[in-house]
Amino acid sequence: DNSCDGVFLFFTDAINDGDPDVTYKGAEGLYHLDLGYNALDGEVPARCLVQCSPGLAVVKLGSNRLTGTVPVAFASLRESMRHLDLSSNELHGQLPVEFSELDRIQTLDLSLNRIGGQVPGTWMTDMEALYTLDLAHNRCVYLNSRTGN
């Protein structure tokens, strides 16, 4: 089963900050993917991106028309993921508790979707490098584990 069938990634100096080595490595060397504002639709191809580019540090897929749930597959990028932007799409469902494994992530933007449910408490304790979490304009609630509110 090759989940990357039909997915094509094009590399330019703009994507890899001019590092020619990344261009020639193909997807395995991809560390910054910015496809925001491209009218992309369908589900986020997270499983493919994780398999094809295990060193991804920055994924920007905001302001598209992506559907489905927030992909749990990104949690497997524990060692590399620093910035994930899935804002302004049509994502729904719950926030994946598995994202608490992303202990090096610094920015997580899931704003302007239709995500609901409780923010996993482990996000606040285990995502040690997180300094920006944007969940605005969703249907999420956060319960303080000390007070229950």
Query: Which is it for strands 83-85 and 132-134: parallel, antiparallel or unpaired?
Result: unpaired
pLDDT tens digits, one per residue of 79-109: 999 999 999 999 999 999 999 999 999 999 9
Residue 111 and residue 133 in contact, taking contact as beta carbons nearer than 8 Å: no
Confidence tier at 66 by pLDDT (50, 70, 90): very high
Please, where are the H alpha helices in 1-45? 20-25
* pTM recorded for the entire structure: 0.81
